[in-house]
A and B are shown apart, each in its own frame.
Chain A
Amino acid sequence: MRESIIMKIHYGTALAAVALVAVHILFRMTQKFSDSLSYQNVIANYHFLPYALMLEVVLILLSVHGFNGLRVILLELKQGVAYERAINYGSIAATVALVAYGSRTILMAGMGMS
């Protein structure tokens, strides 16, 4: 993939994540901070499908943005064909793994399996 496309995704995910995390924070502000973290309220969020979907999207956006940022930092630290290939594929694998693990949490909580 061309670097300009990757960087467009990088900037796009950053902007979208800021917007959605702002929505997430606003939702938390509808009640006391301690209430927001109570077990029943947290589970209720996962049972509310639109909110659960938003959390899933936030997870994907932050994973893609974060691991691409890490990839860029690591590419600037050291160079070499094998190293760069390992970093590129490693960051994709890490993104997929984190999204899979986070999605599992969201799904299990949403289906009442936690």
Chain B
Amino acid sequence: MAVVAIPKASEEATSAPTPTTQPNTITLRISRFNPSNDSLPTFAEFKIPVQKWTTVLEAILHVKQNLDHSIAVRYSCRQASCGSCGMKINGKPALACYTKISEIGSKVVTVEPMSNFPIIRDLAVDFKQLFSDHKKMKPFIMRDDSEITPGTKEFVQTPKDLEKFLQFSYCIKCGLCNSACPTMATDESFIGPQGLAQAYRYVADNRDQGKKDRLKIVDQSHGIWRCHFAGSCSHVCPKGVDPAMAIQLLRGYLMGFRK
């Protein structure tokens, strides 16, 4: 018969692990810039308590709730699904809700708006161009018939067909790839890795019949050929989309390597 020894109250007190939830304090530097009033961005510094699970977005919201409510930041889902809270965290584009302060490994965390986007205010940037380029790629299945046309069946895909584009359909339009792209820094007409990756996502989909249209859109002087394959877009993508690979695969169609 098994005997279970119940520890005495005094033993329990001494053997209990030390709580690890003691908050640390970090310095959060937030870029402040209002294009209508300021000529240059400045940094506001805040000392804030953080736990090991505190994300950068939670830290910013702590400042907003308790220290300075005027900070402009865009966020929504808090779980890396909506793509709203992209920003530069210690110089690297990342989602604030998906980046834990404990993982950054620094007592000073600097947050700035994403590069290559016009700043609306503080950390919020204008996504007009990103969404416009995304729309230009016709991000939908193009074909004459439809699955709901009488007499037609579901457009069945094999797992192999799905594999060709599935990875690229995980894009959440957060703009981090465009922010990290060195070409976008100088060429404001460049479609950008987000748009090009989406073009490939639909070109590679065997249900789609709009390949010719999309290839024509990307095959222009500020289109796919301006990518220098730096790969930084893929490096910063929080969803593992790998836009750099999509661009190379899309080039294959234009070079005649792929049909």
Q: Do A and B truly interact?
A: yes
Majority secondary structure of chain B interface residues (helix, strand, loop or mixed): loop
Chain B, residues 210-241, CB within 8 Å of chain A (1/0): the string is 00000000011111111000000000000000
**Most A Cβ at <10 Å: residue of B221, B223, B224:** B221
* A4 lies within 8 A of B187 (CB): no
Docked Cα-Cα span, A79 to B221, in Å, equals: 11
Q: Name the residue of chain B whose CB is nearest to the CB of A5.
A: B219
CB distance from B189 to the nearest CB of A (A): 5
* B187 lies within 8 A of A3 (CB): no
Majority secondary structure of chain A interface residues (helix, strand, loop or mixed): helix
Give the residue of B223, B224, B226 whose beta carbon is less than 8 angstroms from that of A72: B226
* A3 lies within 8 A of B220 (CB): yes
* B254 lies within 8 A of A76 (CB): no
A84 interface contact, C-beta 8 A: yes
A82 interface contact, C-beta 8 A: no
CB distance from A91 to the nearest CB of B (A): 12
* B188 lies within 8 A of A3 (CB): no
Interface residues of A (CB under 8 A from B): 2-4, 6-8, 72, 75-77, 79, 84
17 A–B contact pairs at CB < 8 A? Answer: A2-B219, A3-B221, A3-B224, A4-B254, A4-B255, A7-B225, A72-B225, A72-B226, A75-B222, A75-B226, A76-B183, A76-B186, A76-B190, A76-B226, A77-B187, A79-B189, A84-B221
